[in-house]
């Protein structure tokens, strides 16, 4: 939009501008781009590794936060025990003529087949749901109706799947019914889906997409409400705990609060100088936003200006998440760090607190990643007498488990060979699951900090883009949004390595 380009825009493909000669493009910045990058203490993140649509332009264009279908060659900095893929390295191919091999006695190796890493897992424990025609970016279990799974793909299609739960006396039957298809987009090619978020009672689903239009859909499939106030792609949607309010974050640098009862915009906040990348609620009337301008703002429903701004990150802030008790806020950044901020004095202020101060006090800095930190997650359950745990993952191919109070790194998980796109804890806090561009899902025991089980999506379009773990009664299932255009549903109760009594 900045360059007045006439070419179509794709979330997963390299973009080449065709400028409109009738419009004068904006002038180039007066400062050298390299000079701005060199101001950071850490080396700049290799833009080839970012989940993006195109490289940063000379007009301060934003680097998108979504995986490519076919990533450019990249160099991943990982721990010594992890082999970094070479830029020119190709997947192993079986030789076309075995007679010409150097050692004809050796059997040529082919690509690994999709499936679990072990040989004891029941094949029927994994269901592959096939209906999407393009890469599946997002997935979300309904919080009240456990059979209902929503998934969204690159072509702006949302599917509602009816996935039977495990009955008391046996295993759940497979999902055999075709999904309900929700298609509300006039130009699917320009509306890649970025976010799915259910409200607390599971009746409404908020859909974020690249066409800048917010859509709120009923569980029945009917379009409940939609509007367009943002001028750029919507990266995140978040319902408040009561479901009355809905937050959206956009590439245009703004955050919107929507009144779901009145079906209208409550307020639009123009706080970030650059893209707003994520949002989260601190309580029913207070929320936080982060952006490419390296800032975290804390805002309320009643004030158009931030009541507090946190500074300290040296590069784009990719994600923020509040802990279960809503007293601390975690953030992760391209500056290779994660940070934990104290927000208890904001939601429960004391008389000496001064609103609006720029503050980095009481911050815990988590250092160790060797590339951009893309995802964070709080362990939902904390054992008595222990500190809260936080997990991070990034483009160095590792995931890490941290003591959120001391800042100590408790464990480095180095099983992935490509950037880690997704992580999530099981709702009971027992397990941590990670998904990567290498096609692997790994499940770790949080207490023993060891890998317990792994599953491979396959070598063709292998990426695991999002993970949602469901636990309801005796049902424990993992949903995966996959680059292979499929959705995987893994029944954890049928996997001996991670089955719980």
Phi, psi of 417 (to 5 degrees): -110, 0
CA distances for 189 relative to 8, 11, 156, 192, angstroms: 8, 9, 8, 7
DSSP 189-214: GG--EEEEEE-TTSSEEEEEETTS-E
Neighbours of 186 (CB within 10 A): 10
DSSP per position, 378-444: E-S---TTSPPEEEEEETTS-EEEEETTT--EEEEE---SS-EEEEEE-TTSSEEEEEETTSEEEEE
Q: For residue 100, what is the DSSP state?
A: G
Which among 129, 185, 187, 202 has a CA at the least distance from the CA of 159?
129
Q: Is 300 helix (H, G, I), strand (E, B) or coil?
A: strand
pLDDT (0 to 100) of residue 26: 40
CA–CA separation, 255 and 248 (whole Å): 6
Pull the structure tokens for residue 293.
Answer: 């301008």
Q: Which two tokens stand for residue 317?
A: 């802030």
Q: What tens-digit pLDDT sequence spans the chain (501 residues)?
A: 566 677 776 666 677 777 655 544 444 333 232 222 223 344 444 333 333 333 233 333 334 454 433 334 344 444 443 344 343 444 444 333 333 333 434 444 567 889 999 988 988 899 999 999 999 999 999 999 999 999 999 988 999 999 998 766 566 677 778 999 998 776 666 678 999 999 999 999 999 999 899 999 999 989 988 888 999 999 999 999 999 999 999 999 999 999 999 999 999 999 999 899 999 999 999 999 999 999 999 999 999 999 999 999 999 999 999 999 999 999 999 999 999 999 988 866 554 544 444 444 579 999 999 999 999 999 999 988 899 999 999 999 999 999 999 999 999 999 999 999 999 999 999 999 999 999 999 999 999 999 999 999 998 899 999 999 999 988 899 999 999 999 999 999 999 999 875
Q: How far apart are CA 203 and CA 261, in angstroms?
A: 13
| C-alpha span between 300 and 323 (Å, rounded) | 18
Q: Measure the CA angle with vertex 433, ends 430 and 437; round to 5°.
A: 175
Domains with residue ranges and CATH for the chain: 1-64 (no CATH), 125-146+246-498 (2.130.10.10), 147-245 (2.40.128)
Q: What is the reported pLDDT for 109?
A: 56
Q: How many CA atoms does the CB half-sphere of 290 hold within 13 Å?
A: 28
The two structure tokens encoding residue 54: 């195109």
Q: What is the DSSP letter of 495?
A: -
Check residue 259 and give its pLDDT. 96
pTM > 0.85: yes or no: no
Three-state DSSP string of 304-324: EEEEEEECCCCCCEEEEEECC
Integer-rounded Cα Rg, in Å, for the chain is 23
List the one residue out of 427, 315, 314, 317 whose CA is nearest residue 376.
317
Secondary element (H or E) of residue 328: strand 328-333
CB 198 within 8 A of CB 143: yes
Q: In what order do the strands lie in the sheet with 440-445?
A: 115-116, 450-456, 440-445, 431-436, 420-425
Q: How many CA atoms lie within 13 A of 242 on its CB side?
A: 9
Residue 369's pLDDT is what? Answer: 97
Predicted local distance difference test score (pLDDT) of residue 161? 96
């Amino acid at each position: 939009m900045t360059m007045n380009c006439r070419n179509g825009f794709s979330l997963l493909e390299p973009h080449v501008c065709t400028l409109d000669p009738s419009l004068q493009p904006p002038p180039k910045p007066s400062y050298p781009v390299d000079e701005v990058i060199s101001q950071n203490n850490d080396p700049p993140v290799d833009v080839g590794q970012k989940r993006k649509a195109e490289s940063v332009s000379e007009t301060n264009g934003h680097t998108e936060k979504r995986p490519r279908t076919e990533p450019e060659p990249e160099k991943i900095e990982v721990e010594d025990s992890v082999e970094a893929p070479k830029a020119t390295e190709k997947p192993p191919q079986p030789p076309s003529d075995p007679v010409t091999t150097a050692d004809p006695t050796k059997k040529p190796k082919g690509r690994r087949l999709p499936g679990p890493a072990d040989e004891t897992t029941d094949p029927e424990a994994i269901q592959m749901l096939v209906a999407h025609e393009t890469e599946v970016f997002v997935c979300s279990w309904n919080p009240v109706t456990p059979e209902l799974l929503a998934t969204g793909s690159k072509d702006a299609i949302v599917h509602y799947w009816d996935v039977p739960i495990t009955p008391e006396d046996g295993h759940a039957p497979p999902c055999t019914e075709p999904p309900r298809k929700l298609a509300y987009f006039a130009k699917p090619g320009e509306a890649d889906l970025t976010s799915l978020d259910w409200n607390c009672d599971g009746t409404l689903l908020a859909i974020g997409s690249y066409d800048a239009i917010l859509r709120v859909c009923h569980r029945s499939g009917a379009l409940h409400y939609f509007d367009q106030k943002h001028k750029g792609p919507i990266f995140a949607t978040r319902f408040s705990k009561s479901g009355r309010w809905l937050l959206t974050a956009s590439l245009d640098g703004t955050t919107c609060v929507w009144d779901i009862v009145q079906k209208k915009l409550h307020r639009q906040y123009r706080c970030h100088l650059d893209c707003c990348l994520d949002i989260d609620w601190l309580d029913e009337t207070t929320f936080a936003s982060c952006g490419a301008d390296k800032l975290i703002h804390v805002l309320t429903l009643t004030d158009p200006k931030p009541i507090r701004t946190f500074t300290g990150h040296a590069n784009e802030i990719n994600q923020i998440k509040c802990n279960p008790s809503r007293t601390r806020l975690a953030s992760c950044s391209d500056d290779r760090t994660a940070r934990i901020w104290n927000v208890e004095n904001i939601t429960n202020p004391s008389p000496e607190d001064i609103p609006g101060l720029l503050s980095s006090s009481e911050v815990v800095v988590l250092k160790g990643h060797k590339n951009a930190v893309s995802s964070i997650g709080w362990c939902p359950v904390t054992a008595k007498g222990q500190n809260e745990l936080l997990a991070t993952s990034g483009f160095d191919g590792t995931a890490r488990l941290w003591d959120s109070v001391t800042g100590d790194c408790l464990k480095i998980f180095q099983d992935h060979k490509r950037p880690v796109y997704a992580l999530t804890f099981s709702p009971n806090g027992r397990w941590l699951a990670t998904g990567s561009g290498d096609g692997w899902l790994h499940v770790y025991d949080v207490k023993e900090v060891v890998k317990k089980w792994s599953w491979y999506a396959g070598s063709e379009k292998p990426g695991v883009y999002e993970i949602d773990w469901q636990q309801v009664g005796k049902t424990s299932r993992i949903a995966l949004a996959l680059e292979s255009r499929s959705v995987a549903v893994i029944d954890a109760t049928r996997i001996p390595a991670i089955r719980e009594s």
